[in-house]
Amino acid sequence: MSDHRSFESHSEQSGSGGGHETGARAAQTGSDPLELIEQCLGLFPDTDPRQKILYKLRHAVMLSQAAHQQREAEFKKLSEVAAKLTAPANRIGTLLDIPGEGLARILVGGAEYYANVDPRVPVADLKIGTQILVNEAYAVINTLGYDRNGPILKLAEAMADGRLRFEQEMGRQPLILQRSSGLAGVELKAGDEVRIDPTFRIAIEKLTDRKTGKHVLDEVPTVTWEQIGGQREAIAAIRKAIEYPLLHADTFQRFQFSQPKGFLLYGPPGCGKTLIGQAAAGSLSKLLRESPQADAQAAGGRPPVTSGAFLHIKGPEILNMWLGESERMVRDLFAQARARRKDGALPVIFIDEAESVLGTRRAMRSFNISNTLVPMFCSEMDGIESLHDVVIILASNRPDLIDPAVLRPGRIDRKIKVARPDREASSEILKVYLTEELPVHPSVVSERGGELQQAVASLVNETIEAIFKRTDENRLLSIRLRNGQSTVLYRGDLVSGAILSSIVQRAKEKAIDRTIQSGEPAGLSAKDLLDSVTEEFRQGEMLPPDDAAEEWLKLLDHHPEQVVGISSFRRGRQAEERLVNQII
């Protein structure tokens, strides 16, 4: 009671002026309890015991206000969650057109709307074909980008006004779709795969054709003429046909010489046709880039050559069971080559196993894919001018099976035979694989007086002698010709670059195995190579089974029609003659 009376008396002693000043401050600070408590604490001296009660009161008020603020924050979060859960969902639609500023033609749920656009949506984000968010009033409030899903259709025609026509499966009507903003200005052609939106209203994305894209190499092959052993005549013939018109353009122009645009490399398998085609592509591209005269002659209104493109196609890859698909692939192949030429690259189309897709046409009474594929190929070849546009190189083991319309002059102008290597050419091929960088057995080096170069040369000579010697052990085949003559073929008569490469590879395996087993440094020896020669011709995959007479004909340089019978001398087989059926 005394404290209470003392507090009242102290208030009364403050006088009318002090009460007026305190009331004014209270009116300014409002009803904040903490401010009032602070004012009361300011009225008592530091020794007054009543300050302890006010401090406790201030602490309690502060805790109460903190708890109140926390409850308000939690209530706000709960209110926001409740608002989101109870708010209506925004619909997703597709933007079809922008008819005017702030307006949009949209497709929502299969129905079209003429809607307003929220001014806060950036104009750059409003792209034809993108997904959009619309509110309850069907106003566009946000964009979601292009839908990443959707069906894929093949383009039938790119119309002049920019629209696209698609053909569907049998029994379904064709479609005409408009382009998305992402496809505006993109060059499209018949046969391209295009992804469309799930509503079948907008063409969204052009897809890369996996089948044609995998044939194109970004870089021209780096194979050079020096890396090809033997085949001097074939290399000289193709270099003369390709390089002379570019190096001596003025001379050829005075003679009004039409430059070739197609070449045929034919001969037995494994003799370097693919390597020669790659080297020709690399040499031609390099020549056009480095020679100003050739580059100016090659331009002729076209962009100058700055790079090369090598399109390597294996014939069977073009064949397709679906009607018209193989023809489309041929058309796309030439279109892709022309597109590369427009970009400044010189395209070289190399078709291996050409007889599989360009075979002789049969009677029209039974369907044969060559009946339609060969005319398509010929028409595409007639559309190119010379090797300044597209260079075409065909490779085949059986040129007699290729349709004559493909091989006629004006299309395939040069036929170059890649024959089997003789003794000298085989020696050059072995020198490509047996280099001085390879480890050679010390005994071989010591026999040659420590000269590594002579040691390698001796290995080459011994291997060549083992292959080309005319002994009973080296006999492989006896063939009887239609004129009654019989011919015995030895290992040297059926050797090829692929066989020589395999022999060296087998010898390396033997040397590596010996090094691993002994743990001592070793190298190639003459025994490794001689044993590899025997193994390769006895069990090598380059030689077919003895009872497959037709397969043996593909390895011979004799015309198949002149061969009547074949008998084998390989160990483990009876030397009986097998008649050859007519296969032409």
Q: pLDDT of the chain along its 584 residues, tens only?
A: 444 444 444 444 444 444 444 444 444 445 688 888 888 888 888 888 888 888 888 888 888 888 999 999 999 998 888 877 777 788 999 999 999 999 999 999 889 999 999 999 999 999 999 999 998 889 999 999 998 888 988 888 888 888 999 987 766 788 899 999 989 888 887 778 899 998 889 999 988 765 555 555 545 677 888 888 878 888 888 888 877 877 777 888 888 887 777 889 988 888 888 888 888 888 877 777 676 545 444 445 566 656 667 788 877 777 765 666 677 778 778 877 877 777 777 788 888 888 888 888 764 444 566 677 888 888 888 876 555 667 888 998 888 888 888 888 888 888 888 888 888 888 988 888 888 888 888 877 777 766 778 888 888 888 999 999 988 888 877 887 777 778 888 888 888 888 888 899 999 998 888 888 877 767 888 888 898 888 888 775 555 665 555 566 666 666 666 777 777 776 544 444 455 554 33
**Distance between CA atoms of 137 and 94, rounded to whole angstroms?**
16
Q: Is 278 helix (H, G, I), strand (E, B) or coil?
A: helix
The reply to whether 170 and 30 lie within a common domain is no
Does some domain include residue 10? no
Last residue of a domain, one of 86, 108, 130: 86
Q: Which residues, other chains included, contact 371 with Cβ-Cβ below 8 Å and sequence gap of 6+? A: 361, 362, 364
CATH number for the domain harbouring residue 141 = 2.40.50.140
Does some domain include residue 513? yes
Does some domain include residue 7? no
Does some domain include residue 506? yes
Give the DSSP H or E segment for 536: helix 526-539
Does some domain include residue 6? no
The reply to whether 223 and 348 lie within a common domain is yes
The reply to whether 238 and 349 lie within a common domain is yes
Does some domain include residue 537? yes
Does some domain include residue 306? yes
Domain count, the chain: 5
The reply to whether 157 and 119 lie within a common domain is no
The reply to whether 36 and 113 lie within a common domain is no
The reply to whether 321 and 387 lie within a common domain is yes
The reply to whether 405 and 480 lie within a common domain is no
Last residue of a domain, one of 382, 417, 452: 417
Rounded to 5°, the CA angle 39-43-49 comes to 110
**DSSP-derived secondary structure for 155-169:** EEEE-TTS-EEE--S
The reply to whether 26 and 131 lie within a common domain is no
The reply to whether 141 and 172 lie within a common domain is no
The reply to whether 497 and 412 lie within a common domain is no
Last residue of a domain, one of 179, 207, 235: 207
The reply to whether 268 and 402 lie within a common domain is yes
Q: Tokens at residue 414, please?
A: 């040069």
Does some domain include residue 29? yes
The answer for 69, left when phi > 0, alpha when psi is -120 to 50, beta otherwise, is: alpha
Residue 135: which domain range?
A: 91-145
Sign of the torsion angle spanned by Cα atoms 63, 65, 68, 73: negative
Q: In this structure, are residues 561 and 482 in contact, taking their beta carbons and an 8 Å threshold?
A: yes
The reply to whether 387 and 515 lie within a common domain is no
